[in-house]
Structure 1
Amino acid sequence: MSTIYQINKGINKPIVFKGLQGQYIAWLAGGLVALLVSFAILYVIGMPIYVLLPLIFGLGSVLFWLVARMSKRFGVHGLEKYFAKRGLPRYISFRSRRLFTRLKVHTTDPSLIRRTGL
């Protein structure tokens, strides 16, 4: 009467496709769609096909190379961390101590009250 259940062992693992991890799959898909749309627009405008095909294949190769390079360099969440770190200030400056001297400590710890005189 016992039932055998399969265990999903890859529940917290990132999605990997051909060496690309996580968000880079979406970046590559978006880039390929943009290349397809640009090919269609340039073809309808009237650009010669012998100029258009090498251009699109060249841009596609660069896209594959850049996305693979970013996936290898940063990993699954490294690109987000890289951009977050770039957004942090290098230092914080303040001109007055008023902000820190007017802070009040709300506590019920009697030892802290005795030490600070609050």
Structure 2
Amino acid sequence: MAEYPVNKGIGRSVEFKGLKAQYLFIFCGGLLALFVLFVILYMIGIDQWFCIGFGVVSASVLVWQTFALNARYGEHGLMKLGAARSHPRYILNRRKISRLFNRKKQKNEKYT
């Protein structure tokens, strides 16, 4: 039986066959979801060969896309991409220009 090194050191991210960090979880979760979907389709009564073909094609696409994302974005790339999407492109200030330059009076200055 072959041995596969999963973790190569303390403080380093989990790696299996080149997949790192969150891609490994996407890969495992996707395969599990496809298996559950395959079982549901088979139990409903859909043709056996259709279920097998759907499972093989879907699993192949999942594996291909997961490795492509891993190669393209790297270990922390998806988190950086998500952070960039949630960051606003512009910061709008709708105050009047004259109000920006007026100094606001503090409570202590009222009575002096």
Shorter chain as denominator, the TM-score bin is 0.7 to 0.9
Structure 2 unaligned regions, length at least 5: 1-7, 105-112
Quote the offset at 1:10 in angstroms: 2.2
Q: CA RMSD in A?
A: 2.0
CA–CA separation in structure 1 for the residues paired with 2:11 and 2:19: 16
TM-score, normalised via structure 1 length: 0.72
> Structure 1 stretches (4+) deviating beyond 6 angstroms?
none
Quote the offset at 1:102 in angstroms: 5.1
Instruction: Name the structure 1 match of 2:84.
Output: 85
CA–CA separation in structure 1 for the residues paired with 2:59 and 2:17: 16
Secondary structure, in 3 states, of the residue corresponding to 2:90? Answer: coil
How many correspondences in the alignment? Answer: 95
TM-score, normalised via structure 2 length: 0.76
Q: Which amino acid aligns with 1:73?
A: R
**1:36-47 paired onto structure 2 within 5 Å:** 36-47=35-46
Q: Which amino acid aligns with 1:10?
A: G
Quote the offset at 1:87 in angstroms: 1.1
Name the CA shift for 1:43/1:88 in 2 (closer, same or farther; >3 Å). Answer: same
Quote the offset at 1:26 in angstroms: 0.8
Give percent identity, aligned residues only: 44
Higher relative contact order (CA 8 A, sep 6+): 1
**1:20-35 paired onto structure 2 within 5 Å:** 20-35=19-34
Structure 1 unaligned regions, length at least 5: 1-8, 104-118
CA–CA separation in structure 1 for the residues paired with 2:53 and 2:87: 41
